[in-house]
Amino acid sequence: MSVTVRVPAKVNVQLAVGGARPDGFHELANVFLAVGLYDEVTATESTALEVVVEGRDADRVPADSSNLAARAATALAHRLGREPTVRLRLVKDIPVAGGMAGGSADAAGALLACDALWGAGLSRTELLGICAELGSDVPFSLVGGAALGRGRGERLTTLEVGGPLHWVFAVADGGLSTPEVYRECDRLRDASGQGAGVADVPEPQASPALLAALASGDAPALAGLLDNDLQPAALSLRPSLRRTLETGREAGALAGLVSGSGPTCAFLVADAEAGRTVAAALESSGHCRTARHTLSPAEGARLLTAPSR
Ligand code: C5P
């Protein structure tokens, strides 16, 4: 018996990062938007927990119990009082360690797939609770669309979202470590004299103007408001991303920013034709490995197949 789930990538149209909390996480106002790049997770009954990874950059993804998808299956199995006897096949299309929540997508996908495979029938609230334990971005991967994440990003409020919006993603060679990017953000704040603690940094707030532009699908308005507090840290760790951002803007993107903790750069473009132009310019520039044109919003984790024998 096996079940396949498709799960989208995300871009953060606003990532407001507050101070470092005593638990090491940062308080966020995180405006998530799901975009049409997808991983697929197939769960098949097996005698033990196995992970197989295929697709783009599969060799950079751990194919063992440390994989977040395997941890999702294990968490659900514990909840159900059973063994996680499942083979998880991950087919990657979301950039690996790219700031687009690919690992979180695989975890949300594995959770939904195992829930169906094992006939558990957990409620959405129960699934979201397990997602939040697995990682800050995992709940959003389950719900998709657009949402504001508070706390460390796991407390979601669904947002109205217009569209379609056209995006180009410039995929870099190699990834960036999310904890390292947050640490660099703290270091830059300390070095500027501001300080990096909760008392030093204003409480992060979502921009009402940005939420209005997102709700109406107004690409030019949204372009002027895209904002990522992790961008200076990502650029500090990977200065070559400046050239990537310049290349996309010069080729006609409405705006560009680092996606989440990077190093993928996201460009909002006016339409499909601009998407093709910007993607072609980025690919021929040599300032990224590949460029992908896609649309938002995208729906969250979804069963592609009913459980089948
Ligand atoms: O929640 P997740 O496991 O995805 O977080 C990975 C790392 O990113 C954390 O260990 C932490 O270093 C950093 N992080 C953070 N504040 C957040 C979310 C993540 O500092 N709100």
Q: Please tell me the distance from the alpha carbon of residue 117 to that of residue 137, in angstroms, as a whole number.
A: 23
10 is catalytic: yes
Give me the catalytic one of 39, 137, 186, 229: 137
Contact between residue 3 and residue 116 where contact means Cβ atoms under 8 Å apart: yes
Question: Atom 11 of ligand 1 has which residue's CA nearest to it?
Answer: 179
| Cα radius of gyration rounded to whole Å, the chain | 19
| Crossing angle of helices 68-80 and 102-117, rounded to 10° | 30
* Ligand 1 pocket, residue 140 CB under 6 Å: no
pLDDT value of position 309 = 59
Residue-wise pLDDT tens digits, 96-139: 999 999 999 999 999 999 999 999 999 999 999 999 999 999 99
| Bridge partners of residue 168, in order along the sequence | 267, 293
Q: Give residue 284 CA to ligand 1 midpoint distance, Å.
A: 34
pLDDT value of position 305 = 76
List, in order, residues 6 or more apart from 86 with CB less than 8 Å away. Answer: 43, 44, 45, 46, 49, 50, 73, 114, 117
Secondary structure of residue 293 in the 3-state scheme: strand
| DSSP H or E stretch at residue 139 | helix 138-143
Closest to 38 in 3D by CA, of 97, 98, 109? 109
Q: Please tell me the distance from the alpha carbon of residue 115 to that of residue 102, in angstroms, as a whole number.
A: 20
Question: Atom 10 of ligand 1 has which residue's CA nearest to it?
Answer: 179
Question: Atom 12 of ligand 1 has which residue's CA nearest to it?
Answer: 179
What are the phi and psi torsion angles at 180 (to 5°)? -65, -40
pLDDT value of position 308 = 64
DSSP state, 58? G
The verdict on pTM exceeding 0.85 is: yes
Q: What is the dihedral of CA 114, 117, 121, 123, to 10 degrees?
A: 30
Report, as ranges of residue numbers, the positions in the chain whose pLDDT lies below 50: none
pLDDT value of position 307 = 67
Q: Give residue 174 CA to ligand 1 midpoint distance, Å.
A: 19
* Phi/psi-derived region of residue 120, left when phi > 0, alpha when psi is between -120 and 50, beta in every other case: alpha
249: number of Cβ within 10 Å:
14
pLDDT value of position 78 = 98
Neighbouring C-alpha atoms within 13 Å toward the C-beta of 65: 7
CA angle 56, 58, 60 (to 5 degrees): 115
List, in order, residues 6 or more apart from 91 with CB less than 8 Å away. Answer: 39, 40, 41, 42, 54, 55
